[in-house]
Structure 1
Amino acid sequence: MKKQDKRKKYGNSSITSLKGADRVRLRPAVIFGSDGIEGCQHSVFEILSNSIDEAREGYGNTIEVIRHKDYSITVKDNGRGIPLDYNEQEKRYNWELVFCELYAGGKYKNNTGGNYEFSLGLNGLGCCATQYSSEYMDVTVFRDGQKFTLHFEKGENVGGLKKEEFDYERTGTIIKWKPDLEVFTDIKIPLEYYTGTLKKQAVVNAGLKFILHDEESGETFEYCYENGIVDYIKEVSEGKEFTEVQFFEKTTKGRDREDKPEYKVKMEIAFCFNNEVNMLEYYHNSSFLEYGGSPDRAVKNAFVYEIDKYIKSLGKYNKDESKITFQDIQDSLILVTNSFSTETSYENQTKKSITNKFIQDAMTEFLKEQLEVYFIENKAEADKIAEQVLVNKRSREKAERTRINIKKKLSGNIDISNRVKKFVDCRTKDVEKRELYIVEGDSALGACKLGRDAEFQAIIPVRGKILNCLKAEYDSIFKNEIIVDLLKVLGCGVEIKTKSNKEFNTFDINNLRWSKIIICTDADVDGFQIRTLILAMIYRLVPTLIYAGKVFIAESPLFEITSKDKTYFAYSDKEKNEIVAKLKGKCTIQRSKGLGENEPEMMWHTTMNPETRRLIKVVPDDIEKTERYFDILLGDDLQGRKTYIEENGYKYLDMVDVS
Structure 2
Amino acid sequence: MAEETKYTEDNIRSLDWKEHIRMRPGMYIGKLGDGSGADDGIYILLKEVLDNSIDEFVMGSGKTIEVSVQGQKVIVRDYGRGIPLGKVVDVVSKMNTGGKYDTKAFKKSVGLNGVGTKAVNALSAYFRVESTRDGKSASAEFEKGELTDQEFLEETSRRKGTKVSFIPDESIFKNYKYRSEYIVKMLKNYVYLNPGLTIVFNGEKFYSEDGLKDLLSDSIHEDDRMFPIIHLRGNDIEVAITYNRSQYSEEYNSFVNGQHTTQGGTHQAAFREAIVKTIREFYGKNYDPSDIRKSIVSAISIKVMEPVFESQTKTKLGSTDMGGNLPTVRTYIVDFVKRQLDNYLHRNAETAEKLQRKILQAERERKDLSGIRKLARERAKKVSLHNKKLRDCRVHLGDVKKERNLETTLFITEGDSASGSITKSRDVNTQAVFSLKGKPLNSFGLSKKIVYENEEFNLLQAALNIEDSIDDLRYNNIVIATDADVDGMHIRLLLITFFLQFFPELIKKGHLYILQTPLFRVRNKKETIYCYSEKEKQDAIRKLTGKPEITRFKGLGEISPDEFKYFIGEDIRLDPVMLDKDTGIEDLLTFYMGKNTSDRQEFIIDNLRVELDVIEAE
Q: TM-score, normalised by structure 1?
A: 0.55
Equivalence for 1:524: none
Equivalence for 1:293: 265
Asked if 1:373 is matched to 2:363, the reply is: no
Q: Are the counterparts in 2 of residues 51 and 77 from structure 1 also a CA contact under 8 Å?
A: yes
Aligned equivalents of 2:593, 2:443: Cα separation in 1: 18
**Structure 1 SS opposite 2:273:** helix
Equivalence for 1:532: none
Equivalence for 1:267: 237
1:94-113 equivalences under 5 Å are 94-110=87-103, 113=104
Asked if 1:628 is matched to 2:612, the reply is: no
Change in CA separation of 1:502 and 1:140 when aligned onto 2, cut-off 3 Å: farther
Change in CA separation of 1:63 and 1:375 when aligned onto 2, cut-off 3 Å: same
Aligned equivalents of 1:195, 1:546: Cα separation in 2: 26
Aligned equivalents of 1:545, 1:20: Cα separation in 2: 45
Equivalence for 1:474: none
Q: Are the counterparts in 1 of residues 265 and 317 from structure 2 also a CA contact under 8 Å?
A: yes
Aligned partner letter, 1:30: M
Q: Are the counterparts in 2 of residues 73 and 178 from structure 1 also a CA contact under 8 Å?
A: yes
Aligned partner letter, 1:14: N
Measured after TM superposition, the shift of residue 492 of structure 1 is 11
Match of 2:68 among 63, 66, 69: 66
Equivalence for 2:565: none
Aligned partner letter, 2:207: C
1:176-325 equivalences under 5 Å are 176-213=165-202, 220-240=203-223, 241-251=225-235, 266-276=236-246, 279-313=251-285, 323-325=287-289
Q: Are the counterparts in 2 of residues 493 and 507 from structure 1 also a CA contact under 8 Å?
A: no
**Structure 2 SS opposite 1:124:** coil
Asked if 1:337 is matched to 2:300, the reply is: yes
Q: Are the counterparts in 2 of residues 136 and 151 from structure 1 also a CA contact under 8 Å?
A: yes
Measured after TM superposition, the shift of residue 247 of structure 1 is 2.7
Match of 1:382 among 327, 352, 363: 352
Match of 1:16 among 10, 13, 17: 13
Q: Are the counterparts in 1 of residues 65 and 199 from structure 2 also a CA contact under 8 Å?
A: yes
Aligned partner letter, 2:186: T
Aligned equivalents of 1:191, 1:34: Cα separation in 2: 19
Q: Are the counterparts in 1 of residues 42 and 168 from structure 2 also a CA contact under 8 Å?
A: yes
Aligned partner letter, 1:399: L
Measured after TM superposition, the shift of residue 64 of structure 1 is 1.2
Change in CA separation of 1:61 and 1:509 when aligned onto 2, cut-off 3 Å: closer
Change in CA separation of 1:164 and 1:504 when aligned onto 2, cut-off 3 Å: farther
**Structure 2 SS opposite 1:107:** helix
CA shift digits 1:154-204 (9 cap, x unpaired): 111123343241123x21111111111233345423222211111111111
CA shift digits 1:436-473 (9 cap, x unpaired): xxxxxxxxxxxxxxxxxxxxxxxxxxxxxxxxxxxxxx
Aligned equivalents of 2:380, 2:115: Cα separation in 1: 56
Aligned equivalents of 1:199, 1:386: Cα separation in 2: 32
- Percent of paired sites with the same residue: 26
Equivalence for 2:538: none
Measured after TM superposition, the shift of residue 128 of structure 1 is 1.3
Q: TM-score, normalised by structure 2?
A: 0.59
CA shift digits 1:91-143 (9 cap, x unpaired): xxx12320111222111121xx2x11221101111111111111111122221
Q: Are the counterparts in 2 of residues 272 and 334 from structure 1 also a CA contact under 8 Å?
A: yes
Aligned partner letter, 1:275: R
Aligned equivalents of 2:59, 2:14: Cα separation in 1: 38
Q: Are the counterparts in 2 of residues 150 and 157 from structure 1 also a CA contact under 8 Å?
A: yes
Measured after TM superposition, the shift of residue 208 of structure 1 is 1.0
Aligned equivalents of 2:450, 2:208: Cα separation in 1: 32
- Return structure 1 stretches of 4+ with deviation > 6 angstroms: 406-413, 490-495, 543-548, 623-626
Aligned partner letter, 2:98: G
Change in CA separation of 1:547 and 1:398 when aligned onto 2, cut-off 3 Å: closer
The structure that has the greater radius of gyration is: 1
Aligned equivalents of 1:412, 1:127: Cα separation in 2: 50
**Structure 1 SS opposite 2:455:** coil
Asked if 1:53 is matched to 2:61, the reply is: no
Q: Are the counterparts in 1 of residues 440 and 491 from structure 2 also a CA contact under 8 Å?
A: no
Segments of 5+ residues of structure 2 without an aligned counterpart are 35-39, 321-327, 384-414, 417-436, 460-489, 496-589, 598-618
Change in CA separation of 1:269 and 1:501 when aligned onto 2, cut-off 3 Å: farther
Asked if 1:137 is matched to 2:117, the reply is: no
Q: Are the counterparts in 1 of residues 442 and 494 from structure 2 also a CA contact under 8 Å?
A: no
Aligned equivalents of 1:43, 1:545: Cα separation in 2: 32
Aligned partner letter, 1:367: V
Equivalence for 2:365: 395
Aligned equivalents of 1:335, 1:510: Cα separation in 2: 27
**Structure 1 SS opposite 2:81:** coil
Q: Are the counterparts in 2 of residues 180 and 187 from structure 1 also a CA contact under 8 Å?
A: no
Aligned-residue Cα RMSD (Å) equals: 3.8
Aligned length: 407
